[in-house]
Chain A
Amino acid sequence: MVTPRTASLESIAPAAGREEIVRTIDVVKEYRVGDQVLRALKGVNVTIYRGEYISIMGPSGSGKSTLFNAIGGLDKPTSGKVFIDEVDVAQLDALELAWLRCRKIGYIFQTFNLITVMTALENVALPMIFAGLSEADAREKAKAILERVELGHRIYNKPSQLSGGQQQRVAIARAFANDPAIILADEPTGNLDLNTGKAIIALLKRMNREQGATVISATHDLKMLDVSDRIFWIRDGMVEKIQNRAEVVIDAGEMH
């Protein structure tokens, strides 16, 4: 049992960045397809630490997205537990889940998912308004974040007036709106060309370093390997292996 005192000491001086932010315990997810039961996850145990940049890799149908959604509090596992910042997600009611999604987690999507009828500024301000900020404060803060993702000059543009890369930048700014502890990025480069994808990865890495937010990304994109602290390889509903960056770089070297 940890007393609040030591808990707060930990958050001031984490033991070499080893403070847990996400932990899954024996996560199993089953889907019913007709009278068959499909096991998408067969007992996954992973721990993610604060400030890490994690890539979840694996072929389609491997359970990668299922694991990703479970970590993000978007999907309840059939059995097992998911802890986000020491909170068991399964125990939360609808209002607490909404609070968690609003303040603790920032979401980035493959399809950008900006609200089409709102400007870049309004898109970034929206989660802050959901969090209770006044409209004026939200707009001011949104403007500052948009400047940090180098879109200070396009804040009044609607998504349809922005390129794919610019839209994803707005989405990244929006994900960071409430200073979340975790950023969940679902194939963030999936709809972008090579160079734009590279720029988006660099931006995510920079925000990860500057904000100290944990970035968890489900991806096919091998460009991600370069910036990831650790890579979870998922196959057949299980964690096949967990590698840190150095190992991956050596592997890639051997392939050439």
Chain B
Amino acid sequence: MAELISSGTGRGAVGRQVRLPLRQALAIALRSLKLRLARSVLTFLTITMAMAFLVDVWITNALDPTVRNAILIQRHIPVVVAVRRTREIWLVVLSLLVCMVGISNAMLINVMERFREIGTMKCLGALNSFILKLFLLESLGLGVLGTLAGLLFGLAVAMAVALNHFGAVFWTLAPWGALAGILPACLAIGPAITVLAALYPAWKAACMEPVAAMRVEV
């Protein structure tokens, strides 16, 4: 008899919610980005600029001493050890941090604005993990797009400056292997910092009570 009661077919039985529709979360995340286009574009640009800065500094720092030394050796001039440009590294780290704070704030505003939507979804049966996914996907989307744009922009700037500085000889002397390693690293760093920045806002959204849907005042 006890078995029959716990088998959960009659009245008085409660099941456990398990469904995790990722595609729905993705669709909602993408459309939410479009709905808040101005803010999305601003966040996108922040990531783009920060990543472009990172790529540019990284490539230039790898390129400059190598190519310069190669040129010096070619002309039989003794090589002086180059001073690492630590100030630029400070600036890059700072810019990435500022970028993270910006994303975090934008997402927090997003979450606060959408309290009713989040509460409603929870009333409809959404799990915390669904809400978490919603906001992390939104952030990840911006992160990937912003990083790709930043990568192209930073690469273009670094190459143009190097070409202008060293002339055509740069093409033959540049350490292409080392440069090729920088791009995938940046491709990982960009989305990683955007998702990291969105963790707290997304968690805050996920923990929101369904009763938030009932709130009338904003």
Question: A: which residues have CB within 8 A of B?
Answer: 3-4, 7-8, 11, 65, 69, 74-75, 85-87, 92-96, 98-105, 107, 109-111, 113, 115-118, 126-127, 129-132, 135, 174, 178, 186
Shortest distance from the beta carbon of B75 to any chain A beta carbon, whole Å: 63
A87 contacts across to B, CB distance below 8 A = 12-14
Identity of the chain B residue whose Cβ is nearest the Cβ of A109 in the assembled complex: B213
* New A-B pairs, 5, CB < 8 Å, besides A94-B128, A110-B214, A127-B124: A74-B211, A96-B15, A101-B210, A115-B120, A186-B214
A135 contacts across to B, CB distance below 8 A = 23
Is B16 interfacial (CB 8 A cutoff)?
A: yes
Q: 29 A–B contact pairs at CB < 8 A? A: A3-B1, A4-B1, A4-B4, A4-B5, A8-B10, A11-B11, A69-B211, A74-B214, A87-B13, A94-B127, A95-B16, A96-B17, A98-B125, A98-B126, A98-B127, A99-B125, A113-B119, A113-B213, A115-B120, A116-B117, A117-B34, A127-B125, A129-B24, A130-B17, A130-B21, A130-B124, A130-B130, A131-B19, A132-B18
Give the total of B residues in contact with A, Cβ under 8 Å: 40
Complex Cα distance A11/B13, Å? 13
Give chain B interface residues in 165-218, CB to chain A under 8 Å: 209-211, 213-214, 216
Instruction: Find out whether the CB atom of A65 lies under 8 angstroms from the CB atom of B123.
Output: no
Instruction: Find out whether the CB atom of A96 lies under 8 angstroms from the CB atom of B19.
Output: no
Identity of the chain A residue whose Cβ is nearest the Cβ of B33 in the assembled complex: A117
Complex Cα distance A178/B210, Å? 18
A186 contacts across to B, CB distance below 8 A = 214
Question: B: which residues have CB within 8 A of A?
Answer: 1, 4-5, 10-19, 21, 23-24, 28, 31-32, 34-35, 116-117, 119-128, 130, 209-211, 213-214, 216
What are the nearest 5 A-B pairs in CB distance?
A: A102-B125, A86-B12, A117-B31, A98-B17, A130-B125
If A7-B11, A110-B216, A117-B31 touch, does A101 touch B124 (CB 8 Å cutoff)? yes
Identity of the chain A residue whose Cβ is nearest the Cβ of B214 in the assembled complex: A186
Secondary structure call for the B interface: helix
Identity of the chain B residue whose Cβ is nearest the Cβ of A218 in the assembled complex: B214
Instruction: Find out whether the CB atom of B21 lies under 8 angstroms from the CB atom of A111.
Output: no
Instruction: Find out whether the CB atom of A129 lies under 8 angstroms from the CB atom of B213.
Output: no
Complex Cα distance A104/B1, Å? 24
Partner of A95, one of B10, B32, B127, B216: B127
Instruction: Find out whether the CB atom of A11 lies under 8 angstroms from the CB atom of B117.
Output: no
Instruction: Find out whether the CB atom of B11 lies under 8 angstroms from the CB atom of A107.
Output: no
Instruction: Find out whether the CB atom of A116 lies under 8 angstroms from the CB atom of B35.
Output: yes
B10 contacts across to A, CB distance below 8 A = 4, 7-8, 11
Complex Cα distance A99/B116, Å? 20
Partner of A75, one of B31, B32, B123, B211: B211
Instruction: Find out whether the CB atom of A92 lies under 8 angstroms from the CB atom of B14.
Output: yes
Complex Cα distance A65/B34, Å? 35
Shortest distance from the beta carbon of B29 to any chain A beta carbon, whole Å: 9
Instruction: Find out whether the CB atom of A131 lies under 8 angstroms from the CB atom of B214.
Output: no
Instruction: Find out whether the CB atom of B17 lies under 8 angstroms from the CB atom of A69.
Output: no
If A69-B214, A117-B31 touch, does A103 touch B128 (CB 8 Å cutoff)? no
B210 contacts across to A, CB distance below 8 A = 74, 101
Complex Cα distance A236/B12, Å? 32
Complex Cα distance A117/B209, Å? 21
